[in-house]
Each structure stands twice: as structure tokens, then as C-alpha cells.
Structure 1
Amino acid sequence: MATPPAELYDLQGRHILICRPEPEASRLAQCFREAGAVPRVLPLIEREPLPETPERRTLILSLDHYTHIITVSPYAARLLLDEVDTWWPQIPTGIRWYAVGAGTAAVLAEQGLSPRRPAQGWTSEALLALPSLARIDGERVLLARGEDGRELIRETLEARGAQVTVLPLYRRYLPDHPSDQLDQLLGDFAPEAIVTLSGETLNNLIALCAKSGHNLYDRLLIVPADRVADQARTAGFEFPCIPGSLADNDIVATVAEQLNGRDGSSGTVK
């Protein structure tokens, strides 16, 4: 069932801190505003494309040699499709395209592709459970991702006998935020909910809290998966919560449900 639009949720006056990269952060902030919330954006990861190299160009030109192409994020999918558009008059046929989540699948679908993605979930683990990736001994797989990232997909597919080529398209880094901005957003603003949609983002938040002395461990923390929720609990966060999906409206719906539920209960996030 589709999630109702953000304006139908009651978050009037609620303070929400969004730690996603741009432009996703501002887009999500607008959804929270439509629900009456007061969002602030503090990107704890930024991304930039890696410069093209002769090796990468050669790899793109041999795209039709791959049976499977996996894109791990909407950003990776856009960068890959831009390069394919530069070097190919049309996208090669006969390739099985994959997306880790619905947002990534939507980017591929915009180019007329029919990507395979998990019916439930949006994690590497869910992707690896797809039947078409179960028996791939000797098949060639291209993995489009950031410069650094989890090695689970590569390691698992190689263990299944695949020949995996990693295609790094961008790098992630922690932006340099002025100390007065951090004090304002982590302290004076007093967020009631914080959106951290990757383990790396969460690690950066933990480091900033330790460095600045701000204690946010009793706030509602939106995380993308069980793995990151466990990471948050280990760090001391009391209320990590996984939304119904990573779509903007589902994130808003989860925050509304949890914050309003905490007002009328002992504060435990289910």
C-alpha cells in the first residue's frame, strides 16, 4: 500500500536533523516541512565523481562483456549511465541489471532498463538473495559503487565463482562544518529525530558528538537496516528505528509514528 503524502502527517514544530548528502537532504527536508516539522540539514557525507581514467574508459567500452551489472545507489547508477551514454550509442543488450533498492531501480528504469531488485528490503544482503545471483560460477559481474564501501557483494559473488570487477565512480568524504554550526545544530536546535541512512554517516555523527561534547543518544535515530541499528545500539543510541522504506514519505511517516507514539508512552521505539 502506498504511503500517504507527507502533508498528512502531524509533525508540527518537531525538530528534525537530516544528515544525508545533498541533494537528497534538501528534498527530504521539504517533505518534513510539508508535515509541519522544522528540519535542518547537516550532511555528514558528501560525494564527488572520480576523474575518468583510461582504464575506466576501457572498462565502459567492454560493458557488453558482462552478464550482470550491479549498482549500489542512485548516485552510482546516474554516474554509470552518464558514462555509458558518452561511449555507447545505445545501452548494450543481454545484460542483467541490478539495483540494491527502489530509488536505484528508478534511476535505471528512467533509461528503459528493467533492473532486478529485492522484493523486500534494500540491503546488500537482500540483493544477494536474488535467485539470478545464486549460481553464477564463471560469469562476469560489474559492480558500480563508491571508491570505498562494503565488500560483502564482491566477496560473496566471488565465493560463488563469479568474476567480479569493481568500478569505483565516486568518493565519499566528511565535509568540514564550522564548529559554531555544529554547536547550533547539535545543541541549540535540539533535534528530536536524526536521519542517518548509512553506517558511515552514523560513524561520522558519533565522532562529531564525541568531539563536540553533545549527547544525542536519547534521540530517535532513523537508520537504514538492522546492521546499522546494531551499530547504533553498540555506540549507545537508545532509539534506532528502521523506516518502512528509504522513500522520503516513508521516512517522514516513521518519524511521525515514533515521535507521536513516544509522547503517549514510555518512550520506547518499537
Structure 2
Amino acid sequence: MIFTILKVIGIILLVVLALILTALLCVLFVPVKYRAVGSFDNTDIRAKAHASWLFHLFALHIEYADETDGYIRLVFVKKGLFADSLGDNYEAFNDDVMDDAAKTETEDKVSENTGNEHKIPADESEHITDEQAEDECTARTHNEYRSVTDENQHIKKQTKPTHKKTYKKPHKKSHKKQFKDKSDKIKNCIYKLKREYSDERNKAAFSHLKKELFIILKRICPRKLKLIMVYSTGSPDTTGISLGILACFPVGYTNRWRITPDFESEKPYAKGSFDIKGHVIVISILAATLRILFDKNCRRLYNRISR
């Protein structure tokens, strides 16, 4: 009996460990795929971006045209990113409008009822007895007395001295001062980096960082970058200069971009389409990050800058 219980517990533990190991391997080795397609015609831009992982069980989709729309999917649960918030605000606005309408209706009904209560028909006024007249007179005098007392209390409240508590707002820095402080911090960081880069002992750390950062960028950059464009800057000389500048970058001719200059147009414009596609593997980025963290030269450089 004990051996069977231990056997069942062992099988359950093995299954749990296998699931954890499978999830870890999926996170490390299953790539995150992304793609973005779109078109542009001067200021009219239309684009779609989609990122997915693990056979599209986890996905993020965003569209941009006249309005921005998108959703996120976790396994079989799909939730909108922008439409839900707008819908909630619209429903809340409708509820507020309905509540206001209901309040006005009830106030109108109450006012009508109170007006009808004070009205006395002509036929009934003839049959009023002396006792009812006396009751009405006493009620009127009582109401007049209450109104006079209420007015006196209101006058007393107004004549009472009011001692307001003075609250001092915390002193806030002006935008110029905040900008100056941030710029000073950035300048100090740049000065520290220049000082450390000029030191011969830190050259190995900077070269190692440069190498690993290029590896990370290479793993993140898209594998496919297609571009079709027709453009003009408004004058033939600047159009030719911009075409020569674009031809200097190898990303254009390696991906076979089709860029057509328009030398005859007198107005600047640009229209075309693009298609970006790639994937990211977590293990490659994690390996580069760990190599940076465990490098003794990089650790010493970090300790010197963080002082």
C-alpha cells in the first residue's frame, strides 16, 4: 500500500517537472514572430502589426487607419485593446443621461402633485366649515412662525466669523528647473562615460559591450524588410541627392527595395507600401545579456559609473 502511494506521488512529481521543463524550453527556444504591413500616401497612413508566440496561442494585433484598433489573445480568451474602453465610456454616458431624464420626470411629477394639493375646487370651498377655517388659520400662523425662525437662523449663520484653515501647497519646481536638472544628469552621465572610455583599463569592457549589443540588434532586426516607394522632394536636385543617400545603406539593396524618384513633380510627396517580417528567440538575447553580466570588465565598469 505504501509503495503504491509513493509510486503515485513520484509519477505526479515527474509529470509536474516535465510540464515545467517543457514550458521553460518553449519560452527559451520557441520564437516570437512579428509582422507589420501597410501603405502610405503622404499623410494617409494605414498599417497592421501582429506578434504571436507558440502557434498563435498568444497574440497581439494592432491596426491603424482612420482609428486605432487592436486585440490581445491569451490561449482562447480574446480581449480588445481600444474598443472596450470606448464602449464602457459610451455606456456610462448613456446611464448618466437616463438617470438625469428619470430625475427630471420625477421632479415634474412631484411639482404637479404639490400644485394639485394646494388647489381647492370651487364646489368644495362652499362646504368648508368654521372648524376647518380655524385649522387653516393655525396652520398658516405656524408656517409663518417657522419661516421667521428659519430666516433668523440663516442670518446668524451668515454673521458668524468663519475661520478658514490655510493650506500651503508644496513648492513645485518649474518646468525650466526640472528640464535643467534632467539635462545636468544626462551631462554628468555622458561625462562619466567619456572619462571611463578614455581609461585604458576600460577599453576591453566597451569593446565587449559593443560586440554583444550588435549581436542583440542582429537577433531583433527583421529578416524581411520590403519597401516600394515613389517620391519627390519638389525639385530634381534634392530628389537625386536623397536617392544617392538612400543607395549608400546596404539594407536597401540587400532587401531589393524598389524606390522610384519622380524628377518631374513640383510638389513633394511620397507614396508606397512596406512589409516587415521577423522573429526573436529569447535564448539568444538571454545568452548575450548573461555574457555581459558575468564579464568582470563590464562589472567593474558598472561599479565605477554607479558611484
Shorter-chain TM-score bucket reads under 0.3
* Superposition TM-score, scaled by structure 2 size: 0.17
Q: Which has the higher contact order (CA 8 A, sep 6+)?
A: 2
- Greater fraction helix: 2
Q: Which has the larger radius of gyration?
A: 2
